[in-house]
Amino acid sequence: MRTLNVGVCLIAALMLCGCNPLMVASMTNLKSAVAGPDELDVTAAQVADVRYPQLKLTTPSGSGVLALVRERGDLQFWVASGKQVLLMRDGLAVRSIGLGLGGDLDGTRLADVSPFKQGLHQVPDGYTSQRWIDLYQGQEVGVTLNSRFSRKSMETLEILNKEYAVLRVDEQIDAPAIGLRATNRYWVDPVDGFIVQSEQQLTSQLRVRIVQLTPDRRHAP
């Protein structure tokens, strides 16, 4: 899983962010650390000025805006203006670079039948699945992660002054080999399963909150 080439994405991000104040501020916030995350204020006008789809990412060390600069099949490369990269498949974060102070998620292998691929809006209550993760720190490879999904109620999200009616789906995850247990939360479009917002535990120390700022723009230009 280390073979993914992100160099071209970093170059694209630097070109994108060099003249964009919002992305520069994102780099500063994501690099700030220790005392807890600074909340980055984002406006609809700022987001509209960037032609790439964007998401807001909050980590234990800061928050910032990432842009979707590349797609390879169903794999999406979301990049901030520094060296921070988040790779996602169908709304699930599968790899992180430069985000975890205690180590990044180095890779994820999904089951042949992935609930994220079929869409969480179609997953029945109590559905169980597995995936396998690699951790950069400690060099654990192929750690089994068990998950169980619970369908919750419809909720309303407000993103950049626009409301979205979404279905909340919770995922209980358990990786006994590394002592990881947590609850991931996904707010999904009830029609097509697009994950509008989520809270995901990537490693024991790295929990992220992902908010899609441009749900109507889902693919790189």
Q: HSE, CB side, 13 Å, CA atoms: give it for residue 23.
A: 29
pTM: 0.86
- For the record, the structure tokens of 103 come out as 């180590």
Give the span between the Cα atoms of 42 and 159, in whole angstroms. Answer: 10
| Full pLDDT tens readout for the chain, 221 residues | 343 454 444 444 444 444 444 455 444 444 443 334 556 778 888 888 888 899 999 988 888 889 998 999 999 999 986 678 999 999 999 999 988 777 899 999 999 999 999 999 999 999 999 999 999 876 789 999 999 999 999 999 999 999 999 999 999 999 999 999 999 999 999 999 999 999 999 999 999 999 999 998 888 88
Compute the distance between CA of residue 187 and CA of residue 104 in angstroms, rounded to an integer: 24
Torsion on CA atoms 17, 19, 25, 31, rounded to nearest 10: 40
Q: Name the DSSP letter for residue 39.
A: P
Fold of domain 7-212: YmcC-like fold (2.40.360)
Backbone angles phi, psi at 79, to 5 degrees: -135, 140
pLDDT tens by residue, 179-203: 999 999 999 999 999 999 999 999 9
187-217: b (≥16 Cβ within 10 Å) or e: bbbeeebbbbbbbbbbbbebbbebbbbbbeb
